[in-house]
Amino acid sequence: MSDLRTELVEAGLLFPTGVDGVLGRSAMFETVLEQVNKAVSGWGREAKAEAVHFPPVMSRTQLERNGYLKSFPQLAAELHGCITPPPGSEPDAAVSQTGLMMVPAACYPIYPMLASRGALAADGALFDIYSWCFRHEPSIEPARLQSFRMHEYVRVGRPSDVAAFRESWMKMAAEIYQSLRLPHELIVSNDAFFGRSGRLMASSQRERNLKFELVVPVNNEREPTACCSFNYAEAHFTEAWDIRMSDGSHAHSACVGFGMERTTLALFRHHGLDPERWPADVRSVLFQS
Ligand code: ATP
Ligand code: ZN
């Protein structure tokens, strides 16, 4: 397999910025990404998900309460203001805290919002959320970006409803990738939890089938890339935010996250660099509207 990044840069679809994992995109790349996003959104509308929009930054305190800084400190990024220190001042005075961090996954701002709404409806809630995300994992691979977009569906409610949601989205997502003629496989996976206790968390997550990924060969055939993830969080977030069902029990939650750049890259990788020459059925899924 040739080097996908070089091919895409030479074709003018991606622009290097001098920073690994931070890439500029051409109008054509964005058109394809937007059409993929429309295909994903159609399924969300049918499921009557409530669409909500948040900026790509959020409160550090809230992200801490979501457990992110304990589980993934290696990926987190904080924002600070830059001021010129007056001559002779303490070095600490050179940085002003903003209290903000970059959003690492689209779903994180949902929980504080939901907590502020009070008790959940009996049949829970379903959100559609689309956001730029940031993770400090610089890489030369075009499919491992620092700044990328994630379209997520988040289900909060009774454990049986949440499990059924994840099950049905695994089927729907496989149908989407099938309709785009992308070779794919569903595998059990785990998150890259930090440190020694993180390794235990990762193996327990895997043993209990809490994370599945739909993988597609993008960079190479040996290590297919996760284009979509299906995570069952049980009561992890709802206990942190005290989100309860009307009977007083903590709700469960699960999310399904589509990686927009990764899915777009997979299309260019498998169907070629010119979308006009993609298979007719793939074009009709993407460009019918
Ligand atoms: P990986 O195992 O490849 O690191 P992940 O387990 O970190 O992926 P999730 O945390 O489940 O992925 O994120 C949801 C989705 O966001 C992924 O399925 C993927 O499509 C996308 N994604 C995650 N990290 C990146 C990244 N660094 N660059 C581009 N897309 C990403
Ligand atoms: Zn990752």
Using CB atoms within 10 A of its CB, is residue 253 exposed (0-12), middle (13-18) or buried (19+)? buried
In the prediction, which pLDDT does 82 show? 79
Mean pLDDT value across residues 64-77: 96
| pTM of the predicted structure, to 2 decimals | 0.95
**Among 275, 47, 46, 289, CA closest to 180:** 275
Q: If you ran DSSP here, which 8-state letter would residue 222 be given?
A: S
Percentage of the chain modeled with pLDDT above 90: 89
Provide residues with CB under 6 Å of ligand 1.
105, 135, 137, 144-145, 148, 150, 191, 226-229, 257, 259, 261-262
Tell me phi and psi for residue 266, to 5 degrees: -60, -40
In the prediction, which pLDDT does 112 show? 97
- Calpha distance 165→176 (Å, rounded): 16
User: Which pLDDT tens digit goes with each residue over 167-201?
Assistant: 999 999 999 999 999 999 999 999 999 999 999 99
Q: Ligand 1 pocket test: pick from 191, 229, 258 the residue with the most ligand atoms within 8 Å of its Cβ.
A: 229
Assigned token pair, 125: 């809630």
User: Which pLDDT tens digit goes with each residue over 231-286?
Assistant: 999 999 999 999 999 899 999 999 999 999 999 999 999 999 999 999 999 999 99
Atom nearest to 137 CA in ligand 1 = 27
- Ligand 1 center to 6 CA (angstroms): 22
**Sequence-separated (6 or more) residues with CB below 8 Å from residue 110:** 52, 127, 129, 154, 156
In the prediction, which pLDDT does 199 show? 96
The protein residue with its alpha carbon nearest to ligand 1, atom 30, reads 259
- Ligand 2 center to 149 CA (angstroms): 13
User: Which pLDDT tens digit goes with each residue over 205-224?
Assistant: 999 999 999 999 999 999 99
Tell me phi and psi for residue 56, to 5 degrees: -80, 15
Among all bound ligands, the one having the nearest atom to the CA of 40 is: 1
In the prediction, which pLDDT does 1 show? 42
- Calpha distance 116→109 (Å, rounded): 12
In the prediction, which pLDDT does 97 show? 85
In a 13 Å sphere around the CA of 285, the CA atoms on its Cβ side amount to 21
User: Position of tokens 């990328």?
Assistant: 148
User: Position of tokens 């695994």?
Assistant: 170
In the prediction, which pLDDT does 88 show? 74
Mean pLDDT value across residues 115-131: 94
